[in-house]
Amino acid sequence: MARAAILITDQQWAEALNYLDQLVPITREEYGEHDRRVAEALEKRSDVLKQLERRLEAEHDLHEAVTIRLQHMRRRTKALTEEFKYTEAEALYREAIHTCERAFGPHHRETATCLDNLATNLRSQSRFEEAMLNASRAMQVREVLLGDDHAHTAASYSNVGYLCRILGRHDDAHTLLLKSLAIRERIYGHEHPLVAESLDRLASVYRELGHFNEAKPRCEEALRIRAASLGPDHPLTAASRNNLALIIERRSDTNSFLESAAGTFLTAGVSPTAAPKPAAGPRGKGPGQGNAVGYAILATLLVSVVAAGVTCWFFPLVGVIAGLCVIALTAASYFSSVSFERLVLLMVGRVRKAIVTKPDVDRNRVDLGRAPRQSVDLTAMTRSAALTADDIRQFPPHAPSDVLDLHWVRSMTLAAADELTRFRCSLKLNRLQELPSKLARVLKEHQGGLHLDGIGSLTTAAAAHIARHQGPTLQLNGLSELRPDVAEHLSHHRGSLSLTGIHSLDEESAGLIVKHRGTVTLTSLKLVTRETVATLRSNPHIELPDDLGDGI
């Protein structure tokens, strides 16, 4: 190797090639076929062959060298992934993509494979948008090189469809997963685990759309195939079993809701599988193929509206408005998967709930709790830009209840926050637009519970202050994202912590929040990886959603 390097420096290509021809077989015998030093020797020989215009041989050596390097990287990334070191594995995946693009160009099978591997890694980190970009690029390369009827293209269809479902693009997910299923059934037959993967992912799409009668048979078929080919205790078999349980449970809940809204009741003891068919049809059907009963109701309502518009000569606008409302509902039913009567029932239920739960509250007054006549006029406060200390001094010195509800206050001065700390009851500030670090530094001295449900995000400095809150409970239910720097500070809070607005969580943040010594409520989580779920469940004081399952 050293002699060849000297000759290469002197541009004595033929002599250098003689040494390299001896070096490659010796390196293979000494270190094995797939060692990095074999790749180095092949790369040097490829460079020399290019100088000698022997390009076919040079390309062959380069391809073999890159293949060896990729195999080495894949072994390392697999080991890192098993240890949940996704960031380190991601760096290797990106290095592999750079290596492939440099050696083969961006439109090559190996490049597509590396892109797909990076997408899987990013998906494990809950970085779904980035994963979608790489998986889509891999799919496009495979469609051009291999065609749309190849096994590797089917794998890309399945991966991109899975990401589309996570990102809420159910129509695209449905189309891609159907294509993947058709290709795999043709290539592998009907009993292959990859066919079960496409069936299971397709069932998840139908489940999230509410098409449970379409989801259940596909999930049952996926479970049967996986149990037969992989065994009943395989993790993928368990995943299909969990998916089937979710379908049965949610179909039962949906049917119960619809029957209750229609004035009927489920008979006790009826199994979920025997429940009536939901009103919504599958997404695969075209517009207008909904329930006939709904369109009978629609026809009746349209006739009634037209009659009202014709007969109501003095108020024709009423008939026009009513007709427009019915037409809007019709369009929503016609072009969606929800039947007309279900839309009507949902609207009636929402209106009834709003009427029943509508609070009889004067927005110019603030309640100090549940005790009667314990409220303060907010007229002066709403005229000013922020809640001031003078406003707080109007409050009684000792609130008789356990809650000081300032749910109409959108901002406050630091002096007002300092005045609030004299109250020992729980404090609700659900309409604050933001929490500056200076305000958080004052509010941390409050001795009671603190509810700040309107805060959408926290800076690192604000999180550091509010985490030292002295009260027993801290609610930040408006947070939509829990960054690692915020999670690290909140883990030091000593009371109960509620973060029910967070829908997705990465593994790094989860590893920090489990260090919290009190109760942590995370009941709105939806998009998390299996590793993140395992990390969160390692702390018995963390409350998670009942239907979270094992993660993605």
In this predicted structure, the answer to whether residue 287 has a pLDDT above a threshold of 50 is no
Q: Is 84 exposed, middle or buried (0-12, 13-18, 19+ CB in 10 A)?
A: middle
- Per-residue pLDDT tens for 468-519? 887 888 888 888 788 888 888 888 887 888 888 888 888 888 888 888 878 8
The DSSP annotation for 496-516 comes to EEE-TT--B--HHHHHHHTT-
User: What is the DSSP annotation of 516-545?
Assistant: -SS-EE-TT--B--HHHHHHHHTSTTEE--
- Show Cβ contacts of residue 349 under 8 Å, excluding neighbours closer than 6 positions: 261
Indicate whether 9 pLDDT > 50.
yes
Chain centroid to CA 193: how far? Answer: 25
∠393-365-444 over CA atoms, to 5°?
Answer: 50
Is the model's pLDDT at 177 over the cut of 90?
A: yes
Alpha-carbon distances of 448 from 5, 433, 536, rounded to whole Å: 74, 21, 27
What phi and psi, each to the nearest 5 degrees, are found at residue 345? -65, -40
Read off the pTM: 0.45
Is the Cβ–Cβ distance between 450 and 473 less than 8 Å? yes
Residue 429 three-state SS: coil
341, amino acid identity: E
Q: Which residues contact 126 (CB under 8 A, 6 or more apart)?
A: 504, 505, 506, 507, 527, 528, 529, 532, 552
Confidence class for position 139, pLDDT limits 50, 70, 90: very high
pLDDT 10s digits, 426-478? 888 877 777 887 788 888 888 888 888 878 778 888 888 888 887 888 888 88
Distance CA 223, CA 119 (A): 26
The two tokens of residue 266 are 């489920």
DSSP 524: T
- Residue type for 253, please? D
**551 three-state secondary structure:** coil
Higher pLDDT, 271 or 184: 184
Hey, how many other C-beta atoms are within 10 angstroms of the C-beta on 369? 16
Q: List, for residues 204-255, the tens digit of each pLDDT value.
A: 999 888 888 888 999 999 999 999 988 888 888 888 888 888 888 777 655 5
Main-chain dihedrals φ then ψ at residue 457, nearest 5 degrees? -155, 160
The pLDDT of residue 548 is 75
CB 230 within 8 A of CB 193: yes
When mean pLDDT is compared across 186-195, 334-343, 506-515, 538-547, the lowest value belongs to 334-343
